[in-house]
């Protein structure tokens, strides 16, 4: 008896998704709750599990197709399956070669390497592909994709891993793709369809610029006190809480102080009303392979450093694995974005609608500053607060950023609520 695999409920107000990656091919055995397909929504990738054990039937949709909630995308023939019933056909359906031909990949590697684009393919990787790339230690930009629009499939990664193994563990038998020889006249371009998530990011950020009156105020911050506190207590903190003491915990708590004193920075405009919050849910901008995601630390004002650091570490790990859920990113009253981890010195971050403010952190570097009339070297960081001037006045924005700066420079303020 065949059981239909339907697109599950994807979250509030989400009615459709894009097929990102088939994790199982027709004829493959599947277990109960084993993921068979990855769907991309506006915010996250969702893996759809099989409700029964059996053998996967034909795919009803292809990678790149848009599917609605409740629609049938595949079937599973119930019963015990003895592995992939049609390995050769399954491999060919995925756009690849039969498994027994993996040894030929080594010979084909030089030709394939020429066809690989220099661009970064990470934005199109599904969760299953990302996990396979990390597991085998491969560079996705050196693997030729056989999926729709040149996307990498899990089978592509596995074939590349096998070729690497057959080659004695070398990274690649072929050199990295290089520019076309001078005078050859060959100039290549590549067109890759934007993922649903990237399209949504683009629309939301452009919408923020179009609808909000954006302005950014800056300040600089002496990180000496926080760095000394981390160095002094990092071992005890890690031993007690089983998590490293990072900078984000300090900034999250400092932001909570500022938002308490400047409630407009923790509010947003809805129609002709201002919605204020008596709690602080901090969205933390995290860079994931498919794009920027902003999971939310709930009730950050009620949590201690250890809980905040654990939440951030968990979000970062799940963002890399592609396992964040819609609920993880729902809501949020204020955002912190740390461009410093990528080396940014200064930026003007864009607010995360409908929020009205975002704090931008940047890299720490030693700079000469004047302290008590003397020039000294201090580890300094530029802070940026972008805000919606329709709701937040300049005085309020500057005050909020000043409170954050003072709390970081004197962390005792966080303990005694100053």
| 276 & 344 share domain | yes
Mark whether 205 and 322 lie in a shared domain.
yes
From 62, 89, 116, the end of a domain falls on 89
Across the range 281-286, mean pLDDT stands at 90
Residues 260 and 405 in one domain: yes
Among residues of the chain, what percentage have pLDDT more than 70? Answer: 80
User: Looking at residue 259, what is its pLDDT?
Assistant: 96
pLDDT over threshold 60, residue 80: no
Residues 203 and 123 in one domain: no
**Active-site choice (118, 149, 393, 410):** 393
For residues 250 and 370, state if they share a domain.
yes
- Percentage above 90 pLDDT, the chain: 37
If asked whether residues 151 and 129 sit together in one domain, one would say: yes
Q: Domain with 80 in it: what CATH number?
A: 2.40.50.100
Confidence of residue 19 (pLDDT cuts 50, 70, 90): confident
Q: How many domains does the chain have?
A: 3
Nearest Cα residue to 305 out of 224, 414, 410: 414
Residue-averaged pLDDT of the chain = 80
Q: Same domain for 108 and 155?
A: yes
Q: Is the pLDDT at 353 greater than 70, yes or no?
A: yes
Domain match, 284 and 355 both:
yes
- Same domain as 79, residue 113: no
d(CA 367, CA 99) in angstroms, rounded, equals 58
Active site annotation includes 389: yes
* 172 assigned to some structural domain: no
Where does the pLDDT of residue 418 fall: very low under 50, low under 70, confident under 90, or very high at 90 and above?
A: low
Whether residue 137 is predicted with pLDDT greater than 50 in this model: the reply is yes
Q: 369-416: per-residue pLDDT in tens? A: 999 999 999 999 999 999 999 999 999 999 999 999 999 999 888 876
* Amino acid 183: pLDDT: 57
Q: What number is the average pLDDT over the span 279-293?
A: 83
- Reported pTM: 0.64
Find the mean pLDDT for residues 282-303. Answer: 86
Q: Is 393 a catalytic residue?
A: yes
- Among 167, 389, 410, 417, the active-site one is 389
Better pLDDT: 179 or 322: 322
Phi and psi dihedrals of 374, rounded to 5?
-120, 145
Q: Domain range spanning residue 119? A: 94-166
Asked if 344 and 379 sit in the same domain, the reply is yes
What pLDDT, on the 0 to 100 scale, is given for residue 388?
95
CATH of the domain at 260: 3.30.559.10
118 in a structural domain: yes
- 171 in any annotated domain: no
Residues 89-127: tens digit of each pLDDT? 433 444 444 444 444 433 444 443 333 333 344 444 666
pLDDT tens string 143-153? 887 765 677 77
pLDDT above 90 for 219 = yes
- Categorize the per-residue pLDDT at 225 as very low, low, confident or very high, splitting at 50, 70 and 90: very high
Residues 157 and 242 in one domain: no
Q: Does residue 180 sit within a domain?
A: no
Choose one of 71, 89, 107: the last residue of a domain: 89
pLDDT confidence band for 179 (50 / 70 / 90): low
Query: Which pLDDT value is given to residue 250?
Result: 94
């Amino acid at each position: 008896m065949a059981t239909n695999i339907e697109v599950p409920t994807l979250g509030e107000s989400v009615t459709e998704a894009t097929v990102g990656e088939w994790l199982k091919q027709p004829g493959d055995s599947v277990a109960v709750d084993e993921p068979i397909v990855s769907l991309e929504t506006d915010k996250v990738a969702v893996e759809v599990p099989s409700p029964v054990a059996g053998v996967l039937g034909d795919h009803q949709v292809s990678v790149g197709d848009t599917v609605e909630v409740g629609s049938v995308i595949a079937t599973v023939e119930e019963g015990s399956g003895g592995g992939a019933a049609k390995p050769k056909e399954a491999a060919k359906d995925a756009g690849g070669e039969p498994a027994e031909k993996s040894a030929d990949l080594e010979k084909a590697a030089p030709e394939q390497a020429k066809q690989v684009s220099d661009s970064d393919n990470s934005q199109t990787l599904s969760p299953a592909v990302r996990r396979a790339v990390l597991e085998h230690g491969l560079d996705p930009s050196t693997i030729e994709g056989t999926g729709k629009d040149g996307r990498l499939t899990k089978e592509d990664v596995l074939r590349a891993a096998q070729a690497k193994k057959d080659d004695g563990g070398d990274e690649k038998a072929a050199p990295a793709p290089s520019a076309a020889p001078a005078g050859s006249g060959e100039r290549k371009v590549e067109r890759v369809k934007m993922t649903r998530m990237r399209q949504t990011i683009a629309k939301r950020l452009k919408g923020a610029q179009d609808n909000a009156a954006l302005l950014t105020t800056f300040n600089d911050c002496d990180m000496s006190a926080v760095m000394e506190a981390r160095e002094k207590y990092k071992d005890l903190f890690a031993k007690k809480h089983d998590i490293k003491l990072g900078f984000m915990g300090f900034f999250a708590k400092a932001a909570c102080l500022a938002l308490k004193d400047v409630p407009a920075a923790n509010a947003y405009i809805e129609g002709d009303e201002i919605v204020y919050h008596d709690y602080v849910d901090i969205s933390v901008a995290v860079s994931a392979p498919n794009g920027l995601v902003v999971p939310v630390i709930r009730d950050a004002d009620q949590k201690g450093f250890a809980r905040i650091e654990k939440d951030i570490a968990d979000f970062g790990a799940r963002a890399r694995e592609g396992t964040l859920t819609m609920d993880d990113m729902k809501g949020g009253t204020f955002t912190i974005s740390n461009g410093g981890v990528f080396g940014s010195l200064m930026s003007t971050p864009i607010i995360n609608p409908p929020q009205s403010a975002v704090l931008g952190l940047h890299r720490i570097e030693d700079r000469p500053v004047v302290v008590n009339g003397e020039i000294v070297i201090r580890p300094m960081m530029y802070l940026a607060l972008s805000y919606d001037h329709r709701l937040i006045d300049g005085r309020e924005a500057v005050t909020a950023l000043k409170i954050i700066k003072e709390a970081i420079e004197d962390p005792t303020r966080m303990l005694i609520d100053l």
